[in-house]
Structure 1
Amino acid sequence: FDSVVVVNNGLLAMYLKFSKPEDARRVFDEMVVRDSITYNTVICGYLNLEMFEESVRIFLENLDRFKPDILTVVSILRACGQLRDLRLAKYVHEYMARAGFVVETTGSNILIDVYAKCGDMIAARDVFKSMGCKDTVSWNSVINGYIQSGDLLEAMKLFKMMMIMEEKADHITYL
């Protein structure tokens, strides 16, 4: 079965790369054996094609059939941000904690961005505050979130704090 899964995963990747999601779905549905590569290929492929709802559907419908890895959850979090689905974002964040994922700087930055896009600046700020190591992207994400939510005063406070902490601003910070 291993070689069949590898071939089918290759077909999935090819169909999705060439924007043939219907053909990819047909292969996926016909697969008797699937592995984490299968699910990540389909979820990420749909995400790249901006088929966010379908990415989420594949994830939710198959949670009992595979163990999502960090690529899976990061991809689904990105879909949550695009869909502005706060409930699902919180569910995935809780799943990450239950599954024992170590959320490093990049993962935290994604969570900040997703929560901000979903309009939950309290959750975004909580993630930001909990970070042991913040980088420029972390600061930019939370500052931009406050700007997008219309809280310019809080955005300016954070920008000043960023300067006090001697974090290097980049061209994104000044936009």
Structure 2
Amino acid sequence: MGVLAGIDTGARLLVIVCVAVMVTVVSAQVGMRYLLNSSIDWAQEVSRFAFVATVFLAIPLGLRDRAHVGIDILVSRFPAALRDALARALALLAAAMLLVVFATAIRVAGATWSERLGSLDITSSVFFMPVIVSALHTALHLIAEALWPRDTAALVPPEGDGVLEQPS
């Protein structure tokens, strides 16, 4: 198993844990509110962090599985060599952008480190941690895709199989 596959496994496990925490905390909060007319002070912040972490940690997994929406109406008409070169160039450009996001998120997290969450005595910078991890993890996937591309021919539907094709 490669390094990136190991990181993927860790991210997948974290996503599962975050979803479980989110569902558990929100369910407990609803139960407390409606059954006991009380609430859990920290439930909103914990469930919000779990949601943010779930979303950001799942981004590179979606990229790896090619689960993100892509519009290829123009690119699918290019010759295979041009399509592959364009895919590599765009992967490197996106990786560079994500490395900027990575560095900026670290800087902003450092600048806001002294700010505390209302009900928990922890820094509000914890909300930047999933962004930092996701940006680097996604950039690694994009760099790997640019250096060792997977087959893109399977992504292009055969001519005539388009959804928008008019019936004869």
One fold, TM greater than 0.5? no
The TM-score, its normalising length taken from structure 1, stands at 0.23
Q: Which has the higher contact order (CA 8 A, sep 6+)?
A: 2
The TM-score, its normalising length taken from structure 2, stands at 0.24
Bigger Rg, which one? 2
